[in-house]
């Protein structure tokens, strides 16, 4: 394919992935083969909505070398593995799509029972062995899975997401969507995934010495941070105010009560640990359960989220976008936890790996935000 056509296709694919919900923010990556020796791929840590052709990077399949000052996605080795092993593959999408991510914690290859899905994906979608993001171990696990299942068009990455390998742009998207449907069907045999709109109980943003609290009906209330104020039976405003007082780094809060968040908060005991690596990166090494409202700020120390006594999760960030991202990964990790429990397959990411991923993410993300 002509290199400019390939770059434009990659940009279009990135935007479509965000629009369809198969990825969010800068999570995931897209590439297109341009020759037997090279492919173009999305850059590391840049918004898909604003990408230009100059930011799409050309990478050699053989040694992962690239040209220019823009760094390619850190998962370029995963894409190169697909192009090395699949001569008919010309477009690769790596996603953190919901159902495939939930299946990724099960510890097993996923049989594709539905004949219509199997015709697109293959009869088995293999599970690549675990490796932290951007590592040789992750790349090796994906390479081995692709090699061992030559008929499979997708690979699920343990505790991570999925890789979808298509003959072109349209084929790769069809594979990604079919994979999501097949994973949903597989999970539905033992677990119900809620697909309705996520109910958000309250959200708030810091505004100088004040904060603006929005109720679940859209009504806004303004409060002084220095003055304790209550709203409703659970003193919502007081809780948000206490967090802003204690944490100067927090400027936005999303208080979410999805069915999976409430279910996981009740079932997990004192804390929920990461089953998915994006949870470890963004939310932290654990989300603690506060026994009462006086414990909320303490349970949030060093973390970006806490389960409240009513089962909702208080998800925090330096701005609204970050708070929403925390809510997204907390909800997804709760789904993964409840589904894994239903399949008797709960196995957490190790504490060491969780700490490493969280620290690296904070350092890398803070640099990107400050550019």
Average pLDDT over residues 60-82: 94
Q: Are residues 121 and 210 in the same domain?
A: no
Tokens of 127: 């599970």
pLDDT at 276 (0 to 100): 97
Q: Are residues 63 and 146 in the same domain?
A: yes
Where does the pLDDT of residue 62 fall: very low under 50, low under 70, confident under 90, or very high at 90 and above? very high
**CA–CA dist 322, 98 (Å, integer):** 19
Pick 296 or 223 by higher pLDDT. 296
pLDDT at 370 (0 to 100): 46
| Domain final residue, candidates 163, 187, 211 | 187
Q: Are residues 329 and 211 in the same domain?
A: yes
pLDDT at 313 (0 to 100): 96
Residue 296 is assigned to a structural domain of this protein: yes
Q: Are residues 242 and 365 in the same domain?
A: yes
Q: Is the pLDDT at 217 greater than 80, yes or no?
A: no
| Domain final residue, candidates 187, 222, 253 | 187
Angle, CA 325 vertex, CA 320 and CA 363 arms, to 5° = 95
Residue 89 is assigned to a structural domain of this protein: yes
Tokens of 20: 């369809």
**CA–CA dist 333, 341 (Å, integer):** 12
Q: Are residues 162 and 22 in the same domain?
A: yes
The predicted-structure confidence for 102-120, as pLDDT tens digits, reads as follows 999 999 999 999 999 999 9
Q: Are residues 168 and 214 in the same domain?
A: no
Residue 23's contacts (CB-CB under 8 Å, 6 or more residues apart) are: 14, 17, 48, 95, 96, 97
The predicted-structure confidence for 135-192, as pLDDT tens digits, reads as follows 999 999 999 999 999 999 999 999 999 999 999 999 999 999 999 999 999 999 999 8
Domain that holds residue 317: 200-369
The DSSP annotation for 64-79 comes to --B-SSSPBPTTHHHH
Average pLDDT over residues 227-254: 81
Q: Are residues 131 and 272 in the same domain?
A: no
* DSSP 8-class letter at 293: G
Residue 246 is assigned to a structural domain of this protein: yes
pTM of this prediction?
Answer: 0.92
| CA gyration radius, the chain | 21
Q: Are residues 222 and 160 in the same domain?
A: no
Q: Are residues 264 and 163 in the same domain?
A: no
Residue 90 is assigned to a structural domain of this protein: yes
The predicted-structure confidence for 295-307, as pLDDT tens digits, reads as follows 999 999 989 999 9
Residue 195 is assigned to a structural domain of this protein: no
Residue 192 is assigned to a structural domain of this protein: no
Q: How many structural domains are present in the chain?
A: 2
Q: Are residues 231 and 302 in the same domain?
A: yes
Residue 157 is assigned to a structural domain of this protein: yes
pLDDT at 225 (0 to 100): 76
Tokens of 233: 């039976």
Q: Are residues 22 and 171 in the same domain?
A: yes
| Domain final residue, candidates 187, 212, 240 | 187
Q: Are residues 328 and 236 in the same domain?
A: yes
Mean pLDDT for the chain overall: 91
Average pLDDT over residues 240-264: 94
The predicted-structure confidence for 261-307, as pLDDT tens digits, reads as follows 999 999 999 999 999 999 999 999 999 999 998 899 999 998 999 99
Residue 291 is assigned to a structural domain of this protein: yes
- What CATH code is carried by the domain that includes residue 59? 3.40.225.10
pLDDT at 93 (0 to 100): 96
The predicted-structure confidence for 9-46, as pLDDT tens digits, reads as follows 999 998 888 887 776 665 789 999 999 999 999 998 78
């Amino acid at each position: 394919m002509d290199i400019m056509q390939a770059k434009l296709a990659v940009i279009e694919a990135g935007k479509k992935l965000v629009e369809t919900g198969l990825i969010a923010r800068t999570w995931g990556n897209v590439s297109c083969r341009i020759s037997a020796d090279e492919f173009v791929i999305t850059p590391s840590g840049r918004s898909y909505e604003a990408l230009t052709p100059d930011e799409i990077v050309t990478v050699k399949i053989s040694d992962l070398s690239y040209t220019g000052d823009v760094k390619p996605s850190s998962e370029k080795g995963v894409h190169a593995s697909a192009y090395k092993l699949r001569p008919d593959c010309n477009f690769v999408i790596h996603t953190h799509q919901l159902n495939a991510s939930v299946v990724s914690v099960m510890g097993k290859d996923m049989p594709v029972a539905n004949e219509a899905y199997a015709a697109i994906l293959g009869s088995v979608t293999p599970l690549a062995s675990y490796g932290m993001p951007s590592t040789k171990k992750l790349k090796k696990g994906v390479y081995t899975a692709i090699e061992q299942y030559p008929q499979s068009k997708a690979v699920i990455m343990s505790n991570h997401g999925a890789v979808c390998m298509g003959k072109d742009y349209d084929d790769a998207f069809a594979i990604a969507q079919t994979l999501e449907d097949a994973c949903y069907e597989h999970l539905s045999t033992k677990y119900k995934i809620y697909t309705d709109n996520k109910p958000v109980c309250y959200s708030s943003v810091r505004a100088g010495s004040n904060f603006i609290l929005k109720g679940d009906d859209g009504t806004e209330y303004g409060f002084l941070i220095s003055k304790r104020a209550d709203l409703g039976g659970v003193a919502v405003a007081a809780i948000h105010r206490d967090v802003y007082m204690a944490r100067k780094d927090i400027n936005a809060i999303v208080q979410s009560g999805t069915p999976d968040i409430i279910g996981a908060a009740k079932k997990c005991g004192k804390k929920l640990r990461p089953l998915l690596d994006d949870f470890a990166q963004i939310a932290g090494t654990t989300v603690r359960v506060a026994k009462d409202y006086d414990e909320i700020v303490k349970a949030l120390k060093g973390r970006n989220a806490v389960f409240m006594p009513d089962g909702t999760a208080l998800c925090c960030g330096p701005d609204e976008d970050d708070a929403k991202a925390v809510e997204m990964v907390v909800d997804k990790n709760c789904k993964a936890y409840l589904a894994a429990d239903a399949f008797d397959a709960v196995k957490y990411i190790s504490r060491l790996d969780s700490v490493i991923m969280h620290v690296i993410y904070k350092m890398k993300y803070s640099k990107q935000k400050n550019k």
